[in-house]
Amino acid sequence: MIGDLVKANRSCRRFHEDHPVDLKTLKELVDLARLSASGANLQPLKYILACEPRMNSEIFSCLGWAAYLKEWPGPEPGERPAAYIVIIGDITISKEFGVDHGIAGQSILLGAREKGLAGCMIGSINRKHLREILNIKPQFKILLVLAVGKPKEEIKIEDVGPDGSIRYWRDSEGVHHVPKRPLQDIIVATHTA
């Protein structure tokens, strides 16, 4: 059931780094993105895959983690992603990428979740550095980095409280809490017979 999968598919930032994610798995995930919708079917997205410790470490050094957790600089060694999918846009195909990378990212992470993995779409990227590390040509725009691995954190969805804050937070036992706006707050009008 897609509802269960969507609910289970929480943005995850701590992983069992020693649990490998192989290239075959990453390709299966990209295939889900490949078969998803693309604006005007242009399909301008391309992918760089990494599941090798040294390169993972280089990619990790380009990423910003969990802006609301001010005292947490990101996952420690041993809890970092075992793989990355870097989504880049080919500007020789299209200058604009619309929401293609959102659609692709959602397909990929739902697929990862089904495989017992988890991940996170990361937009806070040192793009200049990542371009050097991965030798990304000027023909490509860096859009998103998806971290992937076996999850090592408990995440709870909650309703936004009376203070209205949407900031996720961690309790003393390390459980990650994510406040979501209730349905009645996000549906602003209905037109029915």
Identify residues 111-170 at the interface with its own copies (CB under 8 A): 111, 114, 121, 123, 134-135, 140, 144, 157, 166-168
Any idea what DSSP says for residue 57? H
Give the dihedral sign, CA 123/65/50/105.
Answer: negative
CA separation for the pair 121, 101 (Å, rounded): 10
Site string for its own copies, 63-102 (x = CB under 8 A): ----xx-------------------x---------xxxxx
Which lies closer to its own copies via its Cβ, residue 14 or residue 101?
101
Strand order from edge to edge, sheet including 176-180: 155-159, 176-180, 169-170
Least separation in angstroms between residue 191's CB and its own copies is: 4
Q: Are 111 and 32 in contact (CB under 8 A)?
A: yes
Helix H or strand E segment including 147: strand 140-151
Report CA-CA distances (Å) from 140 to 111, 115, 134. Answer: 25, 29, 12
As measured in angstroms, the least distance from the Cβ of 24 to its own copies is 10
Closest CB to its own copies among residues 76, 159 = 159
Q: Which of 13, 25, 50, 118 binds its own copies (CB under 8 A)?
A: 50
Shortest separation between residue 123's beta carbon and its own copies, angstroms: 6
For position 179 contacting its own copies by CB under 8 A, the verdict is yes
> According to the binding rule CB under 8 A, does residue 187 interact with its own copies?
yes
By CB under 8 A, is residue 109 in contact with its own copies? yes
Whole-angstrom CA distances from 168 to 138, 150, 156 are 36, 21, 10
